[in-house]
Amino acid sequence: MPIEVRNLTHTYMQGTISEVTAIFDINFRIDDGEFIGLIGATGSGKSTLIQHLNGLLKPSSGTVLVDGVDIWSKGVSLKKVRQKIGLVFQYPEQQVFEETVYDDIAFGPKNLGYSQKEVEGQVEEACELVGLDRELLSRSPFELSGGQVRRVAIAGILAIKPKVLILDEPTAGLDPRGRREILDNIKNLHETGISVILVSHNMDDVARLCERIMVLDKGKLVADGPAREVFSQGRFLESIDLKPPDVTVLMEKLRDRGWAVRNDVLTVEEACAEIVKELQRRGVAGAI
């Protein structure tokens, strides 16, 4: 189910003195099964852009095509689009409002008219996918930890069986353990075949997980390519107020000192391997 964005521009409060053009003339295509990291400084337009992908915002100009069809053309059901392209908002705990975790996860499929039995099955499956303990289903969402509430929110979207999952800063405000758990979860979900778009300003997270990186700066798409390519441009990222991944920064520092290490590593494991290789080349491998 490809998504194509053509010449997309969004202006908030058009025609008023407070008018803001949040995204400007954006073009890209997302194919089935991709795992995309959408990065950019605060205010660069990430949240605005993703809300266009499932028709929560209407373009000021340009088009969004899902499966080749303009989602704002006559006769298209936006409800169906939103079922296929699930969006988990930033700080979803602010939107938890049902009495029990079960009701919260079941809200989407119930709303789409599934039978009670189907809803139960979908809630069950969604819990399994996000590793949520069944015992929590009868609890109030307000009793859960930050990480658990995020899982409930993700499960609520998975329960409607989307083909594309978009997550807006899913780890914001979580402790390192909660963050790692959510990210591992998202990685597993992608491995089930679903396309994932992960919005984040944490470069280490997206570098470790995503295959393709899209970079927004002041509403414009300024880079879109394989993670290795995008993250090897550390100075460019810094110039648009993004902090490159720690491992990339380390490699850059070593290169400045004359070390022959690659500048396109993405994980700690890759960085270690590069350092060991260079130490061996320098004949100090015995020290390791």
The site for ligand ADP (CB under 6 A) is made up of 12-13, 20, 22, 40, 42-48
Tokens 């590593």 — which residue? 265
**67 CB-side CA count, 13 A:** 11
Give whichever of 91 and 259 is closer to Mg ion, judged by the CB atom.
91
Shortest Å, Cβ 43 to ligand ADP: 4
Q: Which is nearer to Mg ion, 87 or 137 (CB)?
A: 87
Of 47 and 185, nearer to Mg ion (C-beta) is: 47
Choose which of 23, 36, 47, 85 interacts with Mg ion (CB under 5 A). Answer: 47
Task: Tell me which stretch binds Mg ion (CB under 5 A): 28-36, 47-55, 230-238, 253-261.
Answer: 47-55
Interface segment toward Mg ion; rule CB under 5 A; list 18-26, 43-51, 74-82, 132-140? 43-51
Site map (CB under 5 A) of Mg ion, residues 142-181, x = contact: ----------------------------------------
Residue 225, beta-bridge partner list: 213
Nearer to Mg ion, 154 or 265 (CB): 154
Q: Among Mg ion, ligand ADP, none, what binds residue 185 when CB lies within 5 to 8 Å by partner kind?
A: none
Tally of CB atoms within 10 A around 208: 19
Please state the closest distance from residue 168 (CB atom) to Mg ion, in A. 6
Is 48 among the residues that bind Mg ion (CB under 5 A)?
Answer: no
Q: For the chain, give the number of residues.
A: 288
54 interface partner picked from Mg ion, ligand ADP, none, CB below 5 to 8 A per type: none
CB of 40 or CB of 162, closer to ligand ADP? 40
Residue 42, binding choice from Mg ion, ligand ADP, none, Cβ under 5 to 8 Å by partner class:
ligand ADP
Whole-number Å distance between alpha carbons of 191 and 102:
25
Identity of the residue, 57 or 182, whose beta carbon is nearer to ligand ADP in the bound complex: 57
Residues forming contacts to Mg ion in the complex (CB under 5 A) are 46-47
